[in-house]
Amino acid sequence: MDQKLLLAKECFRGSPNAMIDTHSHLYFDSYDEDRLEVMARNMALLDAVITVGVDESTSQKAITLSEKYPNMYAAVGLHPEEIAFPTDVLWVERSVSHKKVVAIGEIGLDYSKLSSEHDVESTVTNQKNAFRAQLEIALRTNLPVVIHSRDAFDDTLEILTAYKGSLRGVWHSFTGDVESMQKVTRIGFMIGINGIVTYTSAQPLQDAVSRVELSHLVLETDAPFLPPVPHRGERNEPYMVTLVAEKVASLRKDTVENVIAQTDKNAQKLFLERVL
């Protein structure tokens, strides 16, 4: 038997159900050489996988993959790192009519590379405009949003706060402390926890995860990125979400079974109610 499949099955040994990975990028070229095998083992083990676009091309790839597997779903959106100029996002609204699209994302703000930009103010303005435009699409279509925010917490939170009570979604790949996590949950957003929570450098996040209500969390991998310990340096895959669940359970002094059951329930309510 394929060693990867053995490893995947070992990850799920004893798990009460197959879990949901709420954030992956299975269209990336790091899967090109063995995508069929990757899909076969992951889609057999998981209840559902959401693969998330970062621009028009990858959003279409996410939709195409979702059409091939009954338990795969897509999110479509324009990632802030893809925004350099005033940008038309009308294609996002056209894409959300597809029956397998369950969210708009990943969208948001990313200031991590602004020092290399010739016109920082213009870049920030363009990112904010595209972000707000996609939030308006989510509002019109009643879809949740998947938020990307890097080095832009305050601005991201300010924009989302204007939609408090009107929009729902998840703050993907959250890395903040208890105080910042509480700010996000107070505006009604879920927190996306992935392999970062297993890293020794993530102590503020680990403390936050141990203290927040489990009803606010969903689990994700961000595959092929951010593999959990003990797989750092490897290519991540959706089945590794169970290792995230194990770490969350350990931090909370809870059972893995309870963490999986509650976070899957959260994910189903947020993303999958309209399609199941």
Domains and CATH numbers, the chain: 3-8+18-272 (3.20.20.140)
HSE value, Cβ hemisphere, 13 Å, CA-based, for 244: 33
Asked if residue 40 has pLDDT above 90, the reply is: yes
**C-beta of residue 8 within 8 angstroms of C-beta of residue 42:** yes
From the list 56, 59, 1, the residue with the least C-alpha distance to 25 is: 59
Average pLDDT over residues 214-236: 97
Q: What is the pLDDT of residue 115?
A: 75
CA gap 12, 45 in Å, rounded: 8
Euclidean distance between the first and final Cα of the chain, in Å?
Answer: 33
**C-beta of residue 31 within 8 angstroms of C-beta of residue 224:** yes
HSE value, Cβ hemisphere, 13 Å, CA-based, for 249: 17
**C-beta of residue 169 within 8 angstroms of C-beta of residue 135:** no
CA gap 259, 247 in Å, rounded: 10
Q: How many CB atoms lie within 10 A of CB 61?
A: 18
Average pLDDT over residues 63-71: 97
Q: What is the pLDDT of residue 114?
A: 86
CA gap 242, 221 in Å, rounded: 9
Q: What is the pLDDT of residue 79?
A: 97
Least confident segment among 7-16, 59-68, 103-112, 211-220: 7-16
Q: What is the pLDDT of residue 206?
A: 98
Average pLDDT over residues 229-243: 96
Average pLDDT over residues 85-95: 92
pTM over 0.85: yes
CA gap 176, 173 in Å, rounded: 9
Which SS3 state, helix, strand or coil, does residue 247 take?
helix
Alpha helix segments (H runs only) across the chain? 3-12, 35-45, 56-68, 90-95, 120-141, 153-161, 178-186, 203-211, 241-252, 256-267
Backbone angles phi, psi at 171, to 5 degrees: -90, 100
User: Sorting pLDDT into bands at 50, 70 and 90, what band is 68?
Assistant: very high
Asked if residue 33 has pLDDT above 60, the reply is: yes
Angle ∠(190,159,140) on CA atoms, nearest 5:
75
Q: What is the per-residue pLDDT across 135-177, written as a single tens digit (0 to 9) for each?
A: 999 999 999 999 999 999 999 999 999 999 999 999 999 999 9
What are 250's two structure tokens? Answer: 């350990």
Q: What is the pLDDT of residue 86?
A: 83
Average pLDDT over residues 260-266: 97
Q: What is the pLDDT of residue 46?
A: 96
Strand partners, 169: 145
